[in-house]
């Protein structure tokens, strides 16, 4: 049997749709065994078919996600063939970023979604005849590559952020990817609007360690700075500089007397 | 890198990371050379505290703050036995034996962030190491400014710099 048709029941029962029976989404004709061959042609639901226009799920903004997705390079390059299911397996999909405290886990989960095509030549070539680029080579310019790959998700740099939806779906072409280090490595870090969006909850306070929530999981140079330390250091520096200027001027004055 | 801000890109972040890392490694190698040099030559004796150091360094500090303007003679002129005046000795010992080793060791630890976080201190490891590194580094930068300035207090403002190259000290 086609391995793609075998569903891991453990994963299914941990997923978001765990309490659904198969025929809630699939044709009720499946109740008869052997299954009719025609059933393979059944139209499949997309996320928006159930969740679109549903008041109960309004806070997840499915319509906007759909909109953002249609702006993305996945949609424009592949039209209708690229469905939600290319990234999100409906049988095993479970919410992660919003609920999982273990960041390393959900970063890996999300990255595996991208890597399922972008590092798997057979899946990649289902949709294109291009050669699958080697992700490690294309990211050669990134210092501390391994650390970056385990601490941030692909979508942090490869999507355009939309503050109305919970996770960015507008994947950009590779030319538009963030390559300026300072976007994340500064006090007003991009990561606060993406990776740390949920843990962060409006904590852009000025005093103390910047971006404290980040510190529980990682240390991002430039983004995690201490306000007081910076002020003291600049203050001391200026004082010393002024002192030396005064000393030098006095020496020059005395010499010329 | 600590003060990076997208609106003031003084130097490209990745360049500053590379330059900083290379300079750090060179510093670590030079420091090892310094330690070995101090052990095998007589230069090491200049980096040891002697009795009365606090009293003497206050005297020297007074000279730099006031005496130099009154035309006084330096209280501890340079000789072969004492190439550092007490204030110099105090600050150099601090810098060379405490601050620089701390900066270099924390710097090397930061070059391998996965190893420190995983093997030694856990989550806060990188943070603590970096704070120490930054504070020590800040002292080194302060020292640099003061040090270069004090180099100009010689027979002529440039005579000490000349001395760095030809190895001789011009008497006042």
**Residue among B7, B14, B112, B155 with most chain A CBs within 10 A, to mutate:** B14
Nearest to A166 by CA among A111, A117, A112, A95: A95
Q: What are phi and psi of B63, to 5 degrees?
A: -60, -45
What's the pLDDT at B119? 63
Neighbouring C-beta atoms of residue B126, cutoff 10 Å: 23
Predicted pLDDT at B117: 63
> What pLDDT does residue A248 have?
85
B133 pLDDT more than 80: yes
Q: Which residues of B touch A229 (CB under 8 A)?
A: 131, 134-135
pTM > 0.80: yes or no = no
Whether the predicted pLDDT of A149 surpasses 60:
yes
Structure tokens at B124: 């806060």
Q: Which chain A residues have a beta carbon less than 8 Å from that of B113?
A: 144, 147, 219
| Burial (CB count within 10 angstroms: exposed 0-12, middle 13-18, buried 19+), residue A169 | buried
pLDDT of residue B99: 92
A248 vs B172: which has the higher pLDDT: A248
In this prediction, the answer to ipTM > 0.85 reads: no
Q: What is the pLDDT of residue B28?
A: 92
| DSSP helix/strand/coil, A152 | coil
Q: What integer pLDDT is reported at residue A199 of this predicted model?
A: 61
Domain ranges of chain B: 49-166
In this prediction, residue B50 has a pLDDT band, given cuts at 50, 70 and 90, of: confident
Contact A221 B113 (CB under 8 A): no
State residue B32's pLDDT score. 92
Written in H, E and C, the secondary structure of A71-103 is: HCHHHHHHHHHCCHHHCCCCCCCCCCCCCCCCH
Question: How wide is the angle at C-alpha B124 spanned by C-alphas B121 and B130, nearest 5°?
Answer: 100
User: What's the mean pLDDT when you consider all of chain A?
Assistant: 78
Q: Which of A147, A182, A241 sits opposite B4 (nearest CB)?
A: A182
Residue A202 has pLDDT above 60, yes or no: no
Q: For residues A203-218, give the mean pLDDT.
A: 59
Chain A contact set for B114 (CB, 8 A): 146-147
Inform me whether the pLDDT recorded for B166 exceeds 90: no
Q: What is the pLDDT of residue A177?
A: 83
Q: Where are the beta strands (DSSP E) in chain A?
A: 159-160, 170-171
Q: Which helix (H) or strand (E) holds B57?
A: helix B53-62
């Amino acid at each position: 049997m086609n391995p793609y048709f075998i569903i891991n029941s453990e994963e299914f029962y941990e997923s978001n749709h765990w309490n659904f029976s198969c025929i809630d989404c699939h044709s009720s004709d499946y109740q008869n065994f052997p299954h009719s061959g025609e059933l393979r042609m059944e139209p499949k639901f997309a996320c928006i078919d159930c969740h679109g226009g549903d008041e109960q799920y309004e806070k997840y903004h499915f319509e906007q996600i759909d909109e953002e997705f249609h702006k993305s390079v996945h949609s424009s390059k592949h039209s209708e063939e690229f469905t939600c299911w290319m990234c999100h397996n409906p049988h095993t999909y479970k919410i992660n970023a919003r609920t999982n405290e273990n960041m390393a886990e959900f970063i890996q989960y999300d990255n595996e979604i991208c890597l399922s095509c972008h590092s798997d030549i057979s899946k990649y070539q289902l949709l294109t005849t291009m050669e699958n680029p080697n992700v490690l080579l294309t990211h050669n310019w990134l210092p501390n590559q391994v650390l970056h790959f385990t601490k941030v998700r692909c979508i942090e740099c490869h999507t355009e952020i939309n503050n109305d939806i919970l996770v960015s779906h507008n994947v950009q072409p590779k030319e538009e990817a963030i390559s300026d280090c300072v976007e994340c490595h500064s006090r007003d870090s991009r990561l606060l609007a993406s990776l740390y969006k949920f843990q962060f909850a409006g904590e852009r306070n000025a005093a103390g360690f910047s971006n404290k929530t980040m510190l529980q999981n990682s240390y991002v140079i430039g983004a995690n700075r201490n306000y007081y330390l910076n002020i003291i250091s600049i203050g001391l520096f200026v004082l010393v500089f002024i002192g030396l200027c005064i000393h030098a001027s006095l020496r020059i004055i005395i010499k010329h007397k | 890198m600590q003060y990076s801000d997208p609106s003031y890109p003084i130097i490209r972040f990745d360049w500053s990371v590379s330059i900083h890392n290379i300079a750090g490694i060179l510093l670590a190698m030079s420091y090892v050379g310094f330690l070995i040099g101090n052990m095998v030559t007589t230069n090491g004796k200049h980096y040891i505290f002697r009795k009365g150091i606090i009293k003497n360094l206050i005297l020297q500090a007074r000279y730099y703050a006031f005496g130099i303007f009154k035309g006084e003679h330096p209280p501890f002129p340079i000789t072969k036995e004492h190439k550092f005046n007490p204030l110099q000795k105090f600050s150099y010992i601090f810098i060379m034996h405490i601050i620089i080793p701390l900066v270099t060791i924390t710097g090397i630890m930061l070059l391998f962030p996965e190893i420190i976080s995983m093997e030694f201190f856990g989550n806060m490891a990188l943070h603590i190491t970096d704070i120490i590194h930054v504070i020590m580094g800040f002292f080194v930068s302060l020292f640099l400014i003061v040090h270069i300035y004090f180099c100009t207090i010689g027979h002529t403002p440039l005579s000490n710099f000349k001395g760095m190259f030809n190895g001789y000290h011009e008497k006042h």
